[in-house]
Amino acid sequence: MKLRDQIISTAKETISNEAEAIANLENFIDEQFTKAIEIIYRSKGRVVVTGIGKSAIIANKIVATLNSTGTPSIFMHAADAIHGDLGIIQNDDVVICISKSGNSPEIKVLVPLIKNFHNTLIALTGNKESFLAKEADYILNCYVEKEACPNNLAPTTSTTAQMVMGDAIAICLLNLKGFSSKDFAKYHPGGSLGKKLYLRVSDITSQNMVPQVSPDTDVAKAIIEISEKMLGVTAVLENEKIVGIITDGDIRRMLTDHVEIKDLKARDIMSKNPKTIDHNELAVEALEVLERNKISQLLAVKNGKYTGVVHLHNLIREGIL
C-alpha cells in the first residue's frame, strides 16, 4: 500500500471507529443520567470536575463548556486534590469524577475523601463495575469497545466519548435554565463571536460621521458631503425625515446619464425608499440586510429619525463578517 493510501485509510478508520462509539452513547442516556442532571440543576453550588491524565484534560474542557453556558464550574486535578486541593470543594458543590477505568490509584484515594465531604459524586466512566462506579451516587456510562489506537492503549475514542458526554450534560443544563443567546453573550464578550451577540448598530454609527443633505442641495455639494464623510453615501432629509439616499453608484450613473450637472439637485439623482435599520438592532442583523439586498450601506434610524450610516466595511473591521 502506498504511503498516501495508508494515511487516508488509517484516518478514515479512526473517524469511523470514534463515530460508531459516539453514536452508541445514546444507549447510555438513562435514568442515572437524568437524575444526575436534575441534581446539578437544583444544586446551589458549583460543579467540580476532576480527573487524572487525559481525563483531566477532558475535565478542563467540560468545565469551560459548563461555565460558558451558565453552570458555574471549577476543575480539580485528582492528584493535586489529595495534597491540599480538596479545599476547592464547598458544601453545596456536585463533583464529577472522570476515569475510563475507574480504578486508577489516585481515584481510589480521592473518592473516599470526597465521600467524607458528603457531596454528591457523579462518576463519568467506561467501567460500571469499577471502584469509582460503585462508590458514586450516579453513573454516567461512557463505555467504548475499543480505542482508535491500533494497540487499544492510547486514550482516543474513550476521551472523545467523555467529552461528548460532557457536552450532553452542558446542553441539557442550558436548556433547563432557558439559557439564551443574550445570556451567552455575557460570557463571550471578546472576539468576533462576542461581537455578533452584543454589538449593536448604534455602536457602529457612533464611530462614523453622519452625512446628510436636503433634496434641494446642489449635486456638487452632495458629492462633497459624500467625500468628506468618507462613507460613500449620504442620506437625503426633508423635515428631518429620510426621503432618499445618494450613493457612489448614483453619482456614477448621473455622470453617465447627464453631460451637464450644474443645475442638478440631490432629489434628481437620489434613490427613494432606502433600506433602513433600527439603531438598537444587532450589527449582525445589519449584515443580513446588506447581504440580502446586495448593498454596501444602510441608514440607521431611532424612532424614525436618521442617526447615521452602517457601512459593510465597518462590519468587516469589527470581525462581524
pLDDT per position as a tens digit, 266-308: 999 999 999 999 999 998 899 999 999 999 999 999 998 999 9
Overall average pLDDT of the 20-35 stretch: 96
The domain defined by 3-179 folds into Rossmann fold (3.40.50)
Report pLDDT digits (tens) over 203-217: 999 999 999 999 999
The answer to whether 77 is a known ligand-binding residue is yes
Mean confidence (pLDDT) of the chain: 92
Q: Which CATH architecture has domain 201-317?
A: Roll (3.10)
- Residue 191 confidence class, pLDDT cut points 50, 70, 90: low
Mean of pLDDT values over 151-179: 95
Domain 3-179 and domain 201-317 have a common topology: no
Q: What percent of the chain has pLDDT over 90?
A: 80
Whether pTM exceeds 0.75: no
Provide the residue ranges of all domains of the chain, joining segments of one domain with +.
3-179, 201-317
- Model confidence at 193, pLDDT cuts 50, 70, 90, reads low
The per-residue pLDDT for range 84-134, each reduced to its tens digit, is 899 999 999 999 999 999 999 999 999 999 999 999 999 999 999 999 999
Report whether pLDDT(195) > 80.
Answer: no
Residue 142 is predicted with a pLDDT of: 96
Contacts 24+ apart (CB under 8 A), 218-222: 218/262, 218/264, 218/265, 218/266, 219/254, 219/261, 219/264, 219/265, 219/266, 219/268, 219/269, 220/261, 220/262, 222/246, 222/266, 222/269
| 7 CB-contact burial (10 Å; exposed 0-12 / middle 13-18 / buried 19+) | exposed
The predicted pLDDT at position 320 comes to: 79
